[in-house]
Amino acid sequence: MTSFVEPPLKGVRVVELTHTILGPSCGMILADLGAEVIKVEPVDGDRTRRLRGFGGGFFGYFNRNKKSLALDADAPEGRKVLVKLLQSADVMIENFAPGSMAKRGLGPEHVEKINPRLVYCALKGFLPGPYEKRPALDEVVQMMGGLAYMTGPSGRPLRAGTSVVDIVGGMFGAFGTVLALKQRDRTG
């Protein structure tokens, strides 16, 4: 006899402000674990909704089990809706360039005032330092990290066929988020 076990993150609400693969991968894993993930998209929708050819399935795959909401987070009406979502959330995920969320009034120091118990998951390509502001496209990180040199023939680096760095980065983001939730529940 099989009994139903509730998913481990049932009751956890995540507000996801992400794009491409890294951020959506993190939210996808949390949603797969039972969290209610609300993906906030620009008014014209996430860019991956419009991909064609081999990219045609990206949006559906990386955003499965999520709810979607399109709004202009910089307009007063959209900001009110976003603030209300953040007030009721346990987690916020973002993967935009360093400093861009703070410029929009959505950096950790701003969001903490909206909801002091919120876990803020910021997924970035590079740590603070000389590369911090550089775009961290998956293939760039594969090259800089040496993965491409292990994948291709000797002396001819080859990008892995999938965005492995973004997907694994999202996995570690989800892992860190679950640990932060556990710590929050333990310490307040």
Query: Catalytic site residues?
Result: 166
Nearest-5° Cα angle at 104, 164 to 38: 55
Neighbour count for residue 187 (Cβ, 10 Å): 6
| Cα separation values, 86 from 8, 91, 114, Å | 21, 8, 7
Burial of 96 (0-12, 13-18, 19+ CB in 10 A): middle
- Find out whether 93 and 23 touch, Cβ atoms under 8 Å: yes
CA pair distance 16, 27, nearest whole angstrom: 7
